[in-house]
Copies of this chain bind each other. A is one copy, B any other.
Amino acid sequence: MPAKRTTVRDVRRHNRSTLLSTLFFDGPLSRHDLSRLTGLSAATVSNVTGELAEDGLVVEAGLVDSDGGRPRVLLRVNPQHAHVVGVDVGETGIRTELFDLALTRLTTVDRALPAGTPDPTEVAAHVAASVRAAIEQAGVAERGVLGVGVGVPGTVEQGRTAVVHAQAIGWGGVPLEELIRAEGITPPLFLENGAKTQGQAEMWFGAGRGASHVVIALLGSGVGAAVVTEGNVYRGSTSSAGEWGHTTIVYGGRPCRCGSRGCLEAYVGAGGVLDRYRRARGGRAVPGEDERAQLEHLVAAAERSAAATRVLDETAGYLGAGIANLVNLFNPQRIVLGGWAGLALGAQLLPRIEQATAAHALHHPYGQVSIELARLGPDAVAVGAATLPVAALLERGADPRRQPSSGADVA
């Protein structure tokens, strides 16, 4: 594997990327600030930012007086340079959002999916239609869209074209990227597992900001995790890393829908928690029309019901052990607890969860970690998906759509 061919031109690409990323994440900055932050010389900063401005990627953003000297010109990424679309493909519906390049939301389109096992081609058609709807609603040209990120359930195998494996909904090797492409969507597509896009959103805009080793633990009907190592979402050899929900935590324990026993998901997934609560109530159904309402009922009942308290305490225990496993294996700086069930439980239980984690984790790694609640909520899958094309842009340091005025690749 030839380690990324290194010619003198790659240096320019790399520096474009560094400067563009710094501007994106650390807001408007003067050329001087950029020089200080990146370690590049003032000459290079001037040269490269000039090129970026020529390409329309960067614009000036006002002046700042510097006491007794020439005022600084602030630069920032041009929010109008392009738009991006993020799609959240859930089991019951599709949410599509359109953003400018600064990831300010401009349009939202919701679409329900028919109940039952979704047909891949049908899903692709719905995705394509809602992407077009979002673009039209925003009054943007399709050519102006940098890329479309799609967060999907299940594992996304990143080959020449992305393929989705989702045992739970009966998708085994669905070539979803090709299917969407076949529906006539022209901008670049970026498919990724929804938990990972949600994790990416927390990293960029939520509780993960500033840290480079983070695990975003997501509790909903299912249980998953997005593992961030050295600032990047960890994928493993075939993109299916982070399947925290199906790690064994009670050997030989409760059966899990994956076919195994004792999985974490069977204990702290919404279904598992509610099932345990139902048993604690002597088999009586939990009030509430769906899992979400039922879980809220459980949390609210904790004040007056010993059974509810016990179930929640046990949940904190299991969850703490599960989190401790993450702490021991990944040694992160931060654990972010999210997902609708995670937020509902965490709001009440966080201290007890921390206590249980401390009891199960080794002292040294536990001493390095803080456990926090997610800031964005489960709706963040779409923004997270929209970050994917932006991340690609920042990494290249150039807009892949236009043939290079300057430093981009030609081959």
Q: Does B359 contact A260, Cβ atoms closer than 8 Å?
A: yes
Least Cβ distance of A180 to chain B in Å? 21
Contact A248 B246 (CB under 8 A): no
Kindly supply a per-residue 1/0 record for chain A positions 1-33, scoring 1 wherever the CB is within 8 Å of any chain B CB and 0 otherwise: 011011110110011001000000000000000
A3 touches B364 (CB 8 A): no
Q: Are B329 and A242 in contact (CB under 8 A)?
A: yes
| In-complex Cβ contact of A5 among B11, B236, B332 (8 A) | B11
- Determine the distance from Cα of A361 to Cα of B245 in the docked complex, in whole angstroms: 11
| Cβ contact within 8 Å between A243 and B15 | no
Select which of B11, B37, B225 is within 8 A of A7 by beta carbon: B11
Contacts of A333 in B (CB 8 A): 237
Of chain B, the residue at the smallest CB distance from A327 is B243
**Cβ contact within 8 Å between A328 and B246:** yes
Distance A127 CA – B38 CA, assembled complex (angstroms): 41
Docked complex: A229-279 residues within 8 A CB-CB of B = 229, 234-244, 246-251, 253, 258, 260, 262, 267
Q: Which residues of B contact A330 (CB under 8 A)?
A: 236, 241
Contact call B6/A39, Cβ cutoff below 8 A: yes
Residues 161-174 of chain A: 1 if any B CB is under 8 Å from the residue's CB, otherwise 0? 00001010000000
Residue of B nearest to A212 (CB): B237
User: Quick one: which of A6, A10, A368 has the most chain B CB within 10 A?
Assistant: A6
Contact A331 B236 (CB under 8 A): yes
Beta-carbon nearest neighbor of A39 in chain B: B2
Bound CA–CA A262/B252 (angstroms): 13
A324 within 8 Å of B by Cβ? yes
Q: A301 on the interface (CB 8 Å rule)?
A: no
Identical chains bound together, number = 2
A250 CA / B241 CA spacing, docked (Å):
22
In Å, the complex CA distance between A322 and B38 comes to 43
What count of chain A residues pass the 8 Å CB interface test?
Answer: 65
Cβ contact within 8 Å between B246 and A249: no
Most chain B CB neighbours (cut-off 10 Å) among A10, A37, A238, A332:
A238
Question: Quick check: is A317 within 8 A (CB to CB) of the other chain?
Answer: yes
- Specify which of B5, B155, B325 is in contact with A364 (CB 8 Å cutoff): B155
**A6, B2: Cβ atoms under 8 Å?**
no
- Please tell me if A40 contacts chain B, counting CB pairs below 8 Å: yes
A318 within 8 A of B: yes
Whether A213 lies near B237 (C-beta < 8 A) is yes
- Whether the pair B40, A18 counts as a contact (CB closer than 8 A) is no
Which residues of the other chain, B, contact A251 by a CB distance below 8 angstroms? 249-250, 253, 267, 317-318, 321
Q: Which residues of B contact A40 (CB under 8 A)?
A: 2, 5-6
Cα distance A368–B155 when bound, in Å?
A: 13
Which of B167, B237, B322, B361 is A331 in contact with, Cβ under 8 Å?
A: B237
Closest to A367 in B: B238
Output the nearest chain B residue to A253 by Cβ-Cβ distance: B251
Whether, in the assembled complex, A362 has its beta carbon less than 8 Å from a beta carbon of chain B, the answer is yes
User: In chain A between 357 and 396, which residues have their CB closer than 8 angstroms to a CB of chain B?
Assistant: 359-365, 368
Please measure, in the bound complex, the distance between the C-alpha atom of A336 and the C-alpha atom of B329, giving whole angstroms.
17
On whether the beta carbons of B7 and A240 are closer than 8 Å, the reply is no
A227 within 8 A of B: yes
Are B2 and A10 in contact, CB atoms less than 8 angstroms apart?
A: no
Sort A-B residue pairs by CB-CB distance and give the 7 closest, nearest first: A236-B331, A2-B39, A241-B331, A213-B237, A243-B328, A247-B325, A248-B321
Q: Which residues of A approach B to under 8 Å, CB–CB?
A: 2-3, 5-8, 10-11, 14-15, 18, 37-40, 155, 165, 167, 212-213, 225, 227, 229, 234-244, 246-251, 253, 258, 260, 262, 267, 317-318, 321-322, 324-325, 328-333, 359-365, 368
